[in-house]
Amino acid sequence: MHKHLIIGLAGIALTEQERIWLKEKPPLGVILFARNSESPEQVKTLLEEVRACTRQATWAAIDEEGGRVNRMPWSPFNGRRHAAEYGVMYESNAGTAIQAVYQDSFVAGEALSDLGFSHNCAPVLDLFHVDGHGIIGKRSFGDNVAQVVALATACMRGLHDAGIAAVGKHFPGHGRANADSHVAVPQVNAPLATILDEAEPFSCLIAEGLKHVMTAHVIYTDTVPEVATVSPFWVRHVLRERMSFFGRIWSDDLCMKGVGDHVPAAAEAALKAGCDTLLVCQPEGVAEMYERL
């Protein structure tokens, strides 16, 4: 199980307990948040220490989408536009917007690579919906598939060209969801055909070389009564079989309320459903997981 985990760390330096876990049962990767980010030098040192403990090329991920999803309060990360601003730009000049997204992602990607990161949890492939919960909102490139595909592809290419693996999210789409999956179990009450149409950005980016996809903790009421992250229908049938995705399937954070209250049980269910990369972002959840291993 530990070989599937991407774990959050408690602070700006490793705790003694984290050192033991990293040495004895090395996870696949770590993911950093604002609580882990004090300065470029400190972040670089932290990731070097992680890899010194694991003695492996341990993955290091972060959510640097731009706009309000920003973990490191220094340039080039803290001044980036929301995805929605590129969406507005696209409507007046598509070529300019695509180039701007590419450039922004490439610059951010090079800076991430210099710090020791390997993965960025971006781009957001969710379509914007006026009546959806604000948790996505300006994080979306727009409300139509073609626009989202064009801008998200530019984001992915910018990251890839800088040596950072892009993680597209949140499959099959969080834009219509009626709640924030950090604190509740969101639902989407739309026909399966509509959800599949709106999941088209995932298909398109997979065809363009996307190797990592993150699932949504959302129940799609027209299909199965479980959130997509723990649903073989969504993970195996739609993503693997229908979309022919052979890369890594990441669960969204298993500490989120959208997937229940018991992290190890959520991890088991996600693994069983076909997720092979399990995000456990909160220190309490990481402790629960390692107690179970």
Per residue in 60-97, pLDDT tens?
Answer: 999 999 999 999 999 999 999 999 999 999 999 999 99
Residue 66 C-beta-side C-alpha neighbours within 13 Å: 27
Per-residue b or e along 200-212, where b marks 16 or more CB atoms closer than 10 Å to that residue's CB: bbbbbbbeeebbb
pLDDT category of residue 1 using cuts at 50, 70 and 90: very high
pLDDT category of residue 282 using cuts at 50, 70 and 90: very high
Residue 13: how many CB atoms within 10 A of its CB? 14
Mean pLDDT score across all residues of the chain:
97
pLDDT category of residue 45 using cuts at 50, 70 and 90: very high
**Cα–Cα distance measured from residue 8 to residue 285, given in angstroms and rounded to the nearest whole number:** 9
Q: What share of the chain is helix, strand, coil (3-state, %, to 5)?
A: 45, 15, 40
Active site residue 182: yes
pTM over 0.85: yes
- pLDDT tens digits along 181-190: 899 999 999 9
Domains of the chain: 2-292 (3.20.20.300)
Helices (H), 25-63: 40-54
Active site residue 261: no
Which position among 2, 143, 180, 182 bears the catalytic label? 182
| pLDDT score at 271 | 98
